[in-house]
Amino acid sequence: EISRKIKSQKTRPFLPVRLLSNMTFLQLSMIEEHRIDLPGFFYHAEPVRFYPSEVNASHVLGFLGEITKSELEHSDRRLYHAGDIVGRSGIEKEYDSVLRGIRGYMYKQVDVTGRETGDFGGKRDVRPVSGRSLMLTLDTGMQKLAENLLKNKKGAIVVMDPNNGEIYAMASSPDYDPGIFSGGVSSSLWNKLMSNPEKPLLNRPVQAQLPPGSVFKLVTATAALAYGIRSPDYSDVCNGAFILGNKIYRCWREEGHGELNLYQAIAKSCNVYFYRTGIDLGIDKISDIGRKLGLGLKTGVDIPGELTGIMPDKNYLDDKYGRGRWTKGMIANIAVGQGDVLVTPIQVAQVAAAVATSGLRPVPHIVKAVQNKDKKSWTFIEPEYKKPVDMLASSLETIKQGMRMAVMEPGGTAVLARIKGVSICGKTGTAQNPRGEPHAWFAGFGPYENPEVVVVVVIENSGSGGSVAAPVAGQLFREFFL
């Protein structure tokens, strides 16, 4: 192992090679006792990350680790050397070049054995430059609450400003203690984390690709309005089931919802209304609006490892099932957020932001400002926006009203997200899961009149969105407004 590490540095033979990190007192004592037999060996203390805050934010902040051989081969060798500690995930990785600073050099005279014989009086030394700081958008109180609400659960929470994309809270559970990586992590601990079936290293807000359940009805409804398939007042009758060929597609409410228009279908989350709407639309129209709202695409959040989810269209279904071998029933399922459609929580937050602002699509971001090289001033990050969907403005206004009814009116599926004195808009989802209990979703914003905050909650394998996710969202709204 020692020989391998030394050989990996053969292009820079006069630079020290890191052989061991996080040494124990016993190891250090043994080296000191045998120093005369170990010419060229030395040790030095290194700074480590310390996390004094009450919040964990492990998936946001990320962790550090030694640079790998592969990474070294593809990096600027003037900036990165073997043994360097680099960001491995989260903000630590995304902004590594800002945080790490610039190394310094101290020149020494040595003899053929590598023993120091003198120096150059510091004339050729280069002073190191410390890294710069980052100012984050996270709100400590909101982040702490989000983490506490997810304790002993699997899931994710995103709290975001719909107007500029600033993320106030981003929690993923289960999480991990970022402090365990501060001095390097053993291979046994790393393997334990990687093999954990609960996936504590998975950054669920940007990497969990899940069926959205009825939250996706927001997309189906927007598509129906945009393409003129439905008007806001178009009425349909739900008797509890929709028959297509020889198959029965049931509503979650067994006795049905009776006659209802689009606003009411959103508020009461009627499956039958959206089965028929989805089939009348067809898969490509649903997919078109889904993509316009950001599904199937990366949001651009400044956290590495973001996944795209799946927004199926005709080509996707042809490739997966064979040309002409997929059915209208599959479209009906997709229309209510089941089947092949998969989303990430951060994508759902961007969809909710588009509804809240009638078409504005800010890029979610964690970093608010970057410290300048003078270490005294800051450069604030200008908000970025995806191509706005202002052509959908009137459609999204209708969706917004339906979401308000879901929370604020009797019979709405999201009434448990209601808080005193603020008009909240929301949509719940209960995503069926073949491997266990359904995933509970909530996506919403408030206040209705001038939205200031988006809240997305998903709790895996937990039950219905209305009874599980909506109350969690209510506590987050309460923290923000009250």
Q: Are 149 and 157 in contact (CB under 8 A)?
A: yes
In the chain, the N- to C-terminal Cα span, in Å, equals 58
The pair of three-digit structure tokens given for residue 456, joined into one six-digit string:
């997305």
Using alpha carbons, list the distances in angstroms from residue 35 to 27, 41, 109, 117, 130: 12, 8, 19, 17, 31
CA dihedral 429, 430, 433, 438 (to 10 degrees): 130
Summarised one tens digit per residue, pLDDT across range 89-148 is 999 999 999 998 888 888 888 777 667 788 887 888 888 888 999 999 999 999 999 999
Distance from C-alpha of 96 to C-alpha of 330, rounded to nearest angstrom: 44
Q: Is 256 helix (H, G, I), strand (E, B) or coil?
A: coil
Eight-state DSSP code of residue 210: B
Residues 6+ apart with CB under 8 A from 293: 219, 222, 350, 351, 354, 361, 389
Predicted local confidence at residue 11, as pLDDT: 57
pTM for the full predicted model: 0.90
Summarised one tens digit per residue, pLDDT across range 172-225 is 999 998 878 876 677 788 899 999 999 999 999 999 999 999 999 999 999 999
- The amino acid present at 234, given as its one-letter code, is Y
Distance from C-alpha of 363 to C-alpha of 167, rounded to nearest angstrom: 10
Neighbours of 182 (CB within 10 A): 17
Q: What is the DSSP string of 128-188?
A: -BPPPPEEE---HHHHHHHHHHTTTS-EEEEEE-TTT-BEEEEEEES---GGGGTT---HH
Q: Which CATH class is domain 140-194+204-481?
A: alpha beta
Extended strands (E) in 240-354: 241-244, 247-250, 258-260
Domain ranges of the chain: 2-136, 140-194+204-481
Predicted local confidence at residue 118, as pLDDT: 81
Which residue ranges of the chain lie beneath pLDDT 70? 1-2, 5-15, 47, 113-114, 183-184
- Please name the helix (run of DSSP H) or strand (run of DSSP E) that holds residue 459, with its range, or none: strand 453-459
The pair of three-digit structure tokens given for residue 77, joined into one six-digit string:
């060798």
Q: Which CATH number is associated with domain 2-136? A: 3.90.1310
Distance from C-alpha of 152 to C-alpha of 99, rounded to nearest angstrom: 33
